[in-house]
Amino acid sequence: MKNSPGRRRSTRISIVKPTAMDGENERVWQDVKKFASLIPSEPDPNLGRVAEIKEEIRKGNYFSPEVMEETAARLAIRFMTKE
């Protein structure tokens, strides 16, 4: 019963951490780090919206029961109608 469906062969998989073979790889990674630091960083475009939502939650009017019921009704209508 070599290939019976009830039996599984256990195979050990080993993951070997990559190592630098020579100084060339280290030089490449240094260049990558150098050029990555030159890329200008831009703020996430959603940060403004996240701040708005946090403020609304602090005020207590973001997740009111009325808003949740209205959203649930809209989703129900959307999923029940054919596109």
Residue pLDDT, tens place only, 1-60: 455 555 666 678 887 766 656 666 788 888 888 888 888 777 777 777 878 888 887 887
Cα angle: 29, vertex 35, 20; to 5 degrees: 5
Q: Cα separation of 28 and 22, whole Å?
A: 11
Prediction pTM value: 0.29
On the 0-12 / 13-18 / 19+ scale of CB atoms within 10 A, 33 is exposed
